[in-house]
């Protein structure tokens, strides 16, 4: 899998207390809660992502603390906001509990809390991308191997100026889309398996195009990856997504794909810089929210004050 991190962040702060209470404020969900470390921590449907992380690190060997968490990427956007928040939270709690974790251990633990403790359906690419940061080619076999890519500055800047994010106006529960894909893969549906195979080949071709600066080819391959992704499940796209994608192509975009599992969120589009403004204007006229972004090569960053 080919991944890159952008300037959309999950933020968290942890302030130690001198009692056994843990308070949690989620700025994104405008929700607060508190719990005692002297009582069992129950996941009851409110801020379970955070509670599960606190429960995983345990109630022994610490006093309480105040957590404040927020994200610059909205939940359900397909930008990996939930997994990135879990990575940030894992890093915060590891620092507080004095648990030394390297990047692989951090990503693995964040993944385990989401997928095993909370049984949220999904992959593991978001946790590794957020933890390591930058451009990476990630291999998933019997273990995960993150291969950092040395993308030249001029290529990164040109790519940055050639890409844009178009919000479809739809936030969605990625688990439903992923569950449908998984069921089709287990049943060995021909279209699903074919789509998976071709996407693996395209990831290698896109890596080569990126490293050699063949960015127009990269944009075309991005569109081909979207065509193959749609073969995996009918839930990945819909009329609204298809309409916005067609508007972008008809005004100069070379290719693009929906971020994340699909079904909503953002469409990542590649455009020649000289035509990018026309694509943006057309999408905004169609009622979409369009934004640019910058790459960020840093992953999980923690500091104390």
231: domain CATH number?
A: 3.30.70.890
Of the candidates 114, 147, 180, which is a domain's last residue? 147
Residue-range definition of the domain harbouring residue 233: 153-291
Both tokens of 149, joined, read 């890519």
* Same domain, yes or no: 177 and 123: no
At residue 172 the predicted structure's pLDDT band, cuts being 50, 70 and 90, is low
Q: Count how many domains the chain has.
A: 2
Q: Is a pLDDT exceeding 90 seen at residue 136?
A: yes
Residues 6+ apart with CB under 8 A from 90: 53, 101, 106, 109, 110, 113
- Residue 302 located in a structural domain: no
Of the candidates 93, 127, 147, which is a domain's last residue? 147
Our CA dihedral for 74, 78, 83, 88, rounded to 10 degrees, sits at -50
Tally of CB atoms within 10 A around 299? 21
d(CA 221, CA 206): 6
* Same domain, yes or no: 100 and 172: no
Out of 16-20, 194-198, 250-254, 285-289, pick the least confident: 194-198
Both tokens of 27, joined, read 């700025």
d(CA 14, CA 223): 42
pLDDT digits 0-9 by tens, 175-227:
677 787 778 877 788 888 888 889 899 999 999 999 999 999 999 999 999 99
- Residue 305 located in a structural domain: no
* Same domain, yes or no: 126 and 195: no
58, 41 contact by CB (below 8 A): no
* Same domain, yes or no: 166 and 231: yes
For residues 155-168, average pLDDT: 95
Of the candidates 147, 170, 202, which is a domain's last residue? 147
* Same domain, yes or no: 163 and 256: yes
- Residue 14 located in a structural domain: yes
Of all residues in the chain, the percent with pLDDT exceeding 70 is: 99
pLDDT top residue among 68 and 168: 68
- Residue 253 located in a structural domain: yes
Catalytic sites, residue numbers: 126
* Start-to-end CA span in the chain (Å): 36
Q: Can you give the CATH number for the domain in which 11 is found? A: 3.30.230.10
Our CA dihedral for 259, 47, 235, 232, rounded to 10 degrees, sits at 60
Confidence (pTM) = 0.91
* Same domain, yes or no: 249 and 266: yes
For residues 258-285, average pLDDT: 92
Q: Is a pLDDT exceeding 80 seen at residue 76?
A: no
Our CA dihedral for 77, 78, 83, 88, rounded to 10 degrees, sits at -60
- Residue 250 located in a structural domain: yes
């Amino acid at each position: 899998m080919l991944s890159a991190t952008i300037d959309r962040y999950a933020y968290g702060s942890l302030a130690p207390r001198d009692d056994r209470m843990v308070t949690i404020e989620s700025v994104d969900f405008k929700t607060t809660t508190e719990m005692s470390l002297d009582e069992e921590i129950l996941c009851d449907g409110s801020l379970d992502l955070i509670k599960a992380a606190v429960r995983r690190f345990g109630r022994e060997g610490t006093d309480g603390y105040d957590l404040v968490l927020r994200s610059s990427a909205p939940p359900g956007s397909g930008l990996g906001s939930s997994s990135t928040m879990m990575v940030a939270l894992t890093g915060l709690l590891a620092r507080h509990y004095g648990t030394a974790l390297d990047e692989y251990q951090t990503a693995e633990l964040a993944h385990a809390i989401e997928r095993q403790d909370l049984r949220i359906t999904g992959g593991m690419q978001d946790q590794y991308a957020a933890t390591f940061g930058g451009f990476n080619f990630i291999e998933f076999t019997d273990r995960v191997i993150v291969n950092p890519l040395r993308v030249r500055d001029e290529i990164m800047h040109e790519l940055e100026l050639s890409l844009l994010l178009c919000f479809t106006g739809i936030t969605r529960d990625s688990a439903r889309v992923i569950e449908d894909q998984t069921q089709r893969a287990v049943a060995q549906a021909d279209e699903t398996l074919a789509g998976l195979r071709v996407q693996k080949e395209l990831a290698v071709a896109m890596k080569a195009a990126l490293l050699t600066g063949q960015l127009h080819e990269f944009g075309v391959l991005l569109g081909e990856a979207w065509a193959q992704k749609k073969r995996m499940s009918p839930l990945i796209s819909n009329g609204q997504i298809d309409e916005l994608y067609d508007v972008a192509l008809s005004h100069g975009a070379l290719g693009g794909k929906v971020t994340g599992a699909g079904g909503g969120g953002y469409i990542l589009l590649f455009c020649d810089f000289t035509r990018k403004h026309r694509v943006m204007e057309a999408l905004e006229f169609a009622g979409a929210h369009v934004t640019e972004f910058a790459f960020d090569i840093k992953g999980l960053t923690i500091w104390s004050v």
